[in-house]
A = this chain, B = another copy of it.
């Protein structure tokens, strides 16, 4: 089962307490697709500029990621520049150049329109709706968003929420969207907005999953060094959806296991700058850490 992702393909310039990197490959669709590609085939819908190097495209091709939906437009590629604090959970955006992303309207190639697994990365909810309108049949749609859209485009976002199965969101965004500071109440309120499942990302503290009938809580994999947290959330979503597509198991048990796979993939991502770790880790590495994760959290046996 292949997974379709709509999101950004970007240049990131990053400073962390551990170092810095200029114009490396970034963007939600990049992290998501590399993460999901360990488990299943992936198709990207996105836009790049004329300055986007062949070398980065090859990173995707090497992983059999389908790029037919990535349009190259006149102008420069979306570029984000950010700096992480000593407290790695805090970051400042120093520069944000939308460039070709400014006029981006997703256009799905004809053969993408039967996509069954769809991830709507963190883009304008108007564009997320546009994608939903172009897809003919959907098995599972998962959506991400951020404070910018919650504050500026909440009506459109509400329309998206009515048409998706699962929302992936971080804890502060869940509070903002729901108006509740308690995270359990926040999640219950968001469930009422449409999604059947709400996944709350809490960074180094792990993930909470809410549905009408069940709560699942899992810690994050403890690491001695978080080198660069960029893309952790999208890597989580990619590992999560990749595993769901691989297993075809949408039961509560299947969802929980996919959450742990997502957490494992995200734990690799943050071990190096940008997507670097995602390009040198293997599926056996991921399976081995999934096993460690089981041992890390088990108190039954």
Interface residues in chain A, defined as those with a beta carbon under 8 Å from any beta carbon in chain B: 86-87, 181-185, 188, 202, 204-206, 208, 215-220, 222-226, 253, 256-257, 259-260, 294, 296-301
Min Cβ gap A262→B in Å is 12
Q: Would A218 and B299 be within 8 Å (CB), given that A205-B202, A223-B184 are in contact?
A: yes
Min Cβ gap A222→B in Å is 5
Instruction: Say yes or no: B184 contacts A222, CB within 8 Å.
Output: yes
Instruction: Say yes or no: B206 contacts A205, CB within 8 Å.
Output: yes
User: Which of B182, B220, B253 is A224 in contact with, Cβ under 8 Å?
Assistant: B182
With the chains together, A58 CA to B296 CA distance in Å? Answer: 42
Min Cβ gap A89→B in Å is 10
With the chains together, A260 CA to B206 CA distance in Å? Answer: 17
Instruction: Say yes or no: B205 contacts A205, CB within 8 Å.
Output: yes
Q: Would A296 and B222 be within 8 Å (CB), given that A86-B181, A253-B301 are in contact?
A: no
Copies, count: 2
27 pairs, A vs B, C-beta closer than 8 Å: A87-B181, A182-B223, A182-B224, A182-B226, A184-B222, A184-B223, A185-B225, A202-B205, A206-B206, A206-B217, A206-B219, A208-B219, A216-B296, A216-B297, A217-B220, A217-B222, A217-B297, A218-B297, A218-B299, A253-B299, A253-B301, A256-B299, A257-B299, A259-B299, A260-B299, A294-B299, A294-B300
**A219: B residues at CB distance < 8 A:** 205-206, 208, 217-219
- Name the residue on B nearest A183 (C-beta): B222
**A294: B residues at CB distance < 8 A:** 299-300
- Name the residue on B nearest A187 (C-beta): B222
Instruction: Say yes or no: A216 contacts B299, CB within 8 Å.
Output: yes
Instruction: Say yes or no: B299 contacts A185, CB within 8 Å.
Output: no
With the chains together, A222 CA to B188 CA distance in Å? Answer: 12
**A87: B residues at CB distance < 8 A:** 181
Min Cβ gap A167→B in Å is 17
